């Protein structure tokens, strides 16, 4: 997919054969050591969104801190989906607008970190760090496509995670679910609370054309 849609990206094969948060994050931090400047390690379903990229990075410098937490918006389709099939010709962040907005400015670990240290010194999962960080103010967010788009491709992606867990992370299997029935039940529970994000002023600043 990257070679087709983002041919200028560097694609690397992971040295970690199983899903092990500690080993994966150690590999991420080793790669970060090769890079200078601001760094952010996102999963494949996560997208950093801001209105003006240059202003955003300038503001990071002006805040006088080397590491910041960017809050997550969990994208979740509604039960009665109003959406059409995703199109490759348009960014996914402009095709979906339902989810959970982080109204709490300090929502636990519901964020991703951006930093300019040698590496992020992450705790497992990369939602926190041994470095002292600040929560970045509006209107910059990471959109995490959690239960969206809710189609067969996403279902298959979700179900392929649990079987790849390493021995020390097998206890997370219930979190990732191991059957289609469990997954659908979890989606229904989460989808009941999803909302139209276009009604939120901070979201409107990000996507005024939606």
Q: Which of 90, 60, 5, 197 is nearest to 207 (CA)?
A: 197
Mean pLDDT lowest for which of 75-79, 119-123, 156-160?
Answer: 156-160
Task: Answer whether 112's CB lies under 8 Å from 140's CB.
Answer: no
Torsion angle, alpha carbons of 13, 36, 109, 16, to 10: 20
pLDDT value of residue 29: 98
Q: Which of 93, 92, 89, 90 is nearest to 51 (CA)?
A: 93
Mean pLDDT on 180-184 = 93
Kindly state the tokens that stand for 98. 């339902």
Task: Answer whether 33's CB lies under 8 Å from 118's CB.
Answer: yes
Q: Which of 85, 101, 87 is nearest to 206 (CA)?
A: 101
Q: Which of 39, 46, 68 is nearest to 132 (CA)?
A: 68
Phi/psi at 138 (5° precision): -60, 165
Is-above-0.85 flag for pTM? yes
Non-local (6+) Cβ contacts of 204 within 8 A are 198
Separation CA 198–CA 69 (nearest Å): 23
- Please tell me what DSSP assigns to residue 66: S
CA 105, distance to chain mean position in Å, is 17
User: How much is the mean pLDDT over the chain?
Assistant: 91
pLDDT digits 0-9 by tens, 70-103 = 999 999 999 998 899 999 889 999 999 999 998 8
Non-local (6+) Cβ contacts of 135 within 8 A are 68, 69, 71, 105, 106, 111
Judged against a pLDDT cut of 70, whether residue 31 lies above it is answered with: yes
Separation CA 36–CA 139 (nearest Å): 25
């Amino acid at each position: 997919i990257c070679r087709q849609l983002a041919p200028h990206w560097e694609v690397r094969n992971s040295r970690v054969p199983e899903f092990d948060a500690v080993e994966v994050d150690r590999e991420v931090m080793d790669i970060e050591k090769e890079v200078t400047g601001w760094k952010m390690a996102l999963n494949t379903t996560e997208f950093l969104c801001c209105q003006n990229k240059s202003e955003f990075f300038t503001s990071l410098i002006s805040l006088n801190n080397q590491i910041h937490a960017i809050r997550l918006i969990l994208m979740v389709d509604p039960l009665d989906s109003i959406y059409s099939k995703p199109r490759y010709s348009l960014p996914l962040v402009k095709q979906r607008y339902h989810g959970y907005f982080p109204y709490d400015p300090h929502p636990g670990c519901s964020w991703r970190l951006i930093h300019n240290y040698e590496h992020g010194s992450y705790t497992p999962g990369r939602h926190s760090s041994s470095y002292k960080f600040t929560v970045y103010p509006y209107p910059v967010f990471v959109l995490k496509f959690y239960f969206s788009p809710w189609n067969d491709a996403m279902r298959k992606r979700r179900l392929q995670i649990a079987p790849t867990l390493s021995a020390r992370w097998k206890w997370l299997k219930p979190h990732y679910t191991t059957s289609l029935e469990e997954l659908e039940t979890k989606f229904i529970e989460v989808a009941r609370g999803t909302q139209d994000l276009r009604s939120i002023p901070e979201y409107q600043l990000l996507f005024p054309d939606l």
